[in-house]
């Protein structure tokens, strides 16, 4: 099955670095920069202004801007899938389209997000499952100011994933297991996607000018989990997170844009597995890998000529890949081959837990 190419435009290429002079953009600038203590947005706008229930226009403008960033996040790198905040990643969803709509009635402050895309999940009970999942989510926003930070919570009130369609399974055994369990394709898809969407998401604007964004609801006084500290102010942080893959499985990040004279910097740390293969590939090669993995479970290796950069990440040995590349779009590919160690080796079949920081910026 061939998928249509992901819709991309000039505004979607570098969503962490969209220049603007609007007040709303000052409040919610999504460029990841190191902390720089100073007079922040809350000090200028004032917590009372944001919390004022009668000031609905400003509040709704903030919501619309944040939802625009959410859609860019969803379509740029791929969203990790997990059932709850404290569960490991079990797959990834790649949105091809995402659109947010604000309801006209400001008294309700409801926002609807429509999306479509495809993805994959893996569990020990079912193996790898590839799927298509258009859907709709209705969100009720909630503003809270905690000391030096403004939290904007987006709590789901309605989720519709009835368009879910299974398009690939790892083996006939997976199909049989699904049939025996009595769970049909739509029900399985609704369970996976709804569990992710039910987590909601949070935007946090700190009073020192730094803005963070996280899937799930981040509590007062807490910060989103980030395995790496941002160390290069000149580099935009595309992704800073953690994934987990099983033997003979793959995970991909992308496609993300790189402009002329820029480099890709990928910082990595591995726990559990002995080693995993890490590659940077063009968007064209990444799309082929993704399509094959979703529809057939193929986890093959690209010809060496199609690898922009590649390395082996070893357990507890931090690695940094740095590569200056031509203008274009790229994927990062994590591949966990079938372990070569004997089955008696205690670490032979452990999951691979990978911490990653993906940055793009001027070549140093």
The total of other beta-carbon atoms located within 10 Å of residue 228's CB is: 18
Rounded percentage of the chain residues whose pLDDT exceeds 90: 34
Confidence of residue 353 (pLDDT cuts 50, 70, 90): very high
Q: Report d(CA 61, CA 98) in Å as an integer.
A: 18
CATH 2.60.120.380, the chain: domain bounds: 236-362
For 236-362, CATH number out of 3.40.50.1820, 3.40.50.2000, 2.60.120.10, 2.60.120.380 equals 2.60.120.380
pTM confidence score: 0.79
β-strands 111-123, 135-146: how paired? Answer: antiparallel
| Distance from the first to the final alpha carbon of the chain | 41
Q: What is the pLDDT of residues 239-286, one digit of tens each?
A: 999 999 999 899 999 999 999 999 999 999 999 999 999 999 999 999
- In Å, how far are 91, 92, 178, 196, 294 from 87, measured between CA atoms? 12, 14, 22, 11, 22
Q: Report d(CA 45, CA 205) in Å as an integer.
A: 12
Per DSSP, the three-state class of 76 is: helix
Say if residue 203's pLDDT is above 60. yes
Q: Are the CB atoms for 98 and 40 separated by under 8 Å?
A: no
Q: Report d(CA 27, CA 317) in Å as an integer.
A: 39
> What pLDDT is stored for residue 212 in this prediction?
80
For the record, the structure tokens of 319 come out as 């690695």
Q: Are the CB atoms for 99 and 113 separated by under 8 Å?
A: yes
Confidence of residue 297 (pLDDT cuts 50, 70, 90): low
Closest Cα to residue 289, out of 239, 253, 237, 326?
253
């Amino acid at each position: 099955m061939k998928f249509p190419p992901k819709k991309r435009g000039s505004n979607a290429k570098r969503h962490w670095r969209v220049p603007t002079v609007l007040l709303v953009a000052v409040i919610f600038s999504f460029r990841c920069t190191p902390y720089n203590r100073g007079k922040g947005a809350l000090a200028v706008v004032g917590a009372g202004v944001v919390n004022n229930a009668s000031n609905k226009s400003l509040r709704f403008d903030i919501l619309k801007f944040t939802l625009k960033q959410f859609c860019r996040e969803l379509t740029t790198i791929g969203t990790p899938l997990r059932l709850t905040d404290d569960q490991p990643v079990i797959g990834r969803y790649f949105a091809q389209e995402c659109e947010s709509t604000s309801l006209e009635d400001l008294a309700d402050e409801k926002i609807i997000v429509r999306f479509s895309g495809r993805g994959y999940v893996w569990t020990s009970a079912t193996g790898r499952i590839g799927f298509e999942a258009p859907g709709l989510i209705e969100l009720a926003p909630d503003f809270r100011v905690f000391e030096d930070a403004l939290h904007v919570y987006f709590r789901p009130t309605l989720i519709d994933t009835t368009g879910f369609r299974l398009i690939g399974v790892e083996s006939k055994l997976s199909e049989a297991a699904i049939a025996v369990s009595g769970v049909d394709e739509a029900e399985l898809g609704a369970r996976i996607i709804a569990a992710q969407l039910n987590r909601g998401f949070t935007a946090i604007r700190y009073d020192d000018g730094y803005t963070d964004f996280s899937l799930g609801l981040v509590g007062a006084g807490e910060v989103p989990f980030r395995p790496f500290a941002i160390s290069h102010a000149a580099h935009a942080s595309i992704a800073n997170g953690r994934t987990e893959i099983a033997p003979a499985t793959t995970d991909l990040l992308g496609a993300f844009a790189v402009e002329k004279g820029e480099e890709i910097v990928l910082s990595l740390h591995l726990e559990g597995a002995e080693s995993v293969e890490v590659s940077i590939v063009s968007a064209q090669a990444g799309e082929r890998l993704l399509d094959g993995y979703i529809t057939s479970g193929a986890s093959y290796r690209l010809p060496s000529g199609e690898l922009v950069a590649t390395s082996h990440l070893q357990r507890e040995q931090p690695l940094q890949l740095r590569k200056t590349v031509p203008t274009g779009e790229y994927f990062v590919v994590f591949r966990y081959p079938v372990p070569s160690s004997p089955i008696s080796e205690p670490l032979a079949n452990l999951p691979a837990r990978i911490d990653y920081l993906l940055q793009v910026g001027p070549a140093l």
